[in-house]
Amino acid sequence: MVSPRGIVPLGADFPPDGSGPDSDCSILHLDMDAFFASVERLRDPGLADTPVIVGGTGPRGVVSSADYLARARGVHSAMPMARALRLCPDAAVRSPRGGAYREVSRAVMEILRSVTPLVQPLSLDEAFLDVSGARRRLGGPVRIAAMIRDRVRREQGLTCSVGVAATRFTAKLGSTHCKPDGLLLVPTAGVRAFLDPLPVGALPGVGDRTEQALARMGVRTVGALARYDRDLLRMELGDKHGTRLADLAHGIDDSPVESESEDKSIGAEETFDVDVAEPATVRRELLRLSEKVARRLRASGRMGRTVSVKLRRGDFSTITRARTLPDATDVGREINAVARDLYAESGLAGTPLRLVGVRMEGIVPAAGVHRQLALDEQDTGWRDVERVMDRVAERFGPGAIQSAVLAKRDENDV
pLDDT of residue 407: 47
The single residue of 103, 110, 126, 236 carrying the catalytic annotation is 126
pLDDT of residue 358: 95
Phi/psi of residue 379, nearest 5 degrees: -75, 115
Domain with CATH 1.10.150.20 in the chain: 196-249
On whether the CB atoms of residues 186 and 28 are closer than 8 A, the answer is no
pLDDT of residue 58: 79
The dotted CATH code for 196-249 is: 1.10.150.20
Instruction: Please indicate whether residue 236 is annotated as part of the active site.
Output: no
Compute CA distances 38 → 135, 198, 295, whole Å.
Answer: 31, 29, 28
DSSP letters along 75-135, please? --TTSBHHHHHHH-TTPEEE---HHHHHHHHHHHHHHHHHH-S-EEEEETTEEEEE-GGGH
22 carries a ligand binding annotation? no
- CATH superfamily, region 8-189: Reverse transcriptase/Diguanylate cyclase domain (3.30.70.270)
Domain with CATH 3.30.70.270 in the chain: 8-189
CATH of 265-413, one of 3.90.1150.10, 3.30.390.10, 3.30.1490.100, 3.10.290.10: 3.30.1490.100
Domain with CATH 3.30.1490.100 in the chain: 265-413
125 carries a ligand binding annotation? yes
Mean pLDDT for each 10-residue chunk of the chain (414 residues)? 46 58 91 94 87 88 92 92 94 90 91 91 94 88 94 92 95 94 93 94 88 92 93 90 92 86 76 90 95 87 92 85 92 94 95 92 78 46 58 49 48 39
